[in-house]
Amino acid sequence: MYSDSIADMLTRVRNAYAVRKPTVVLPYSKFKLNLANVLVSEGLLAAAEKTERTDKPNFSELTLALKYGRSGKPAITAVKKISKPGRRVYVAAADLPYVLNGFGIAVISTSQGLMTNKQARKVKVGGEVICEIY
């Protein structure tokens, strides 16, 4: 069992990209689906969908379709978890991070839901910095 399900999700995605897998299957949660939808909207994942298991009732899985470039280069090159269970990191709207001078994204959990640092800056809202992806 793992204590940080988001870190587990990001690690599974990173490892799947490392071995060129087309999809990743992981346990479902609403937060993971919302995080995956942010990554899909930013063009870092091809698709994300909730699937039901037939062998285990009331157990859902999240299936992520990974995205690769024409030359086979992964869409995500690095993932860094910022906020952890033992040390949460919160930022105000004025202090939202720039990742790789704007080439990467930071995923922020705000009162208006999960969004990228660019979207949070437009809406002028701060929150918990979940991870940085580039």
- Which residues fall within 8 angstroms of residue 18, CB to CB, at 6 or more apart? none
119, amino acid identity = Q
Tokens standing for 26?
Answer: 């992981």
Query: Strand runs (DSSP E) across the chain, as ranges?
Result: 23-27, 45-52, 60-66, 79-81, 90-91, 105-110, 113-116, 127-133
For the chain, list the domains and their CATH numbers. Answer: 1-75 (3.30.1370.30), 78-134 (3.30.1490.10)
Question: In which band, very low, low, confident or very high, does the pLDDT at 15 lie, cut at 50, 70 and 90?
Answer: very high
Tokens standing for 27?
Answer: 């346990």
Tokens standing for 115?
Answer: 């969004």
How many other CB atoms are found less than 10 A from the CB of residue 87?
7
pLDDT tens for 29-57 read 999 999 999 999 999 999 999 999 888 88
CA distances from 94 to 91, 110, 122, 126 (A): 8, 14, 11, 8
> DSSP label at 71?
T
pLDDT tens for 46-100 read 999 999 988 888 899 999 999 999 999 999 999 999 999 999 999 999 999 999 9
> Which pLDDT belongs to residue 8?
97
Count of H helices and E strands in the chain?
Answer: 3, 8
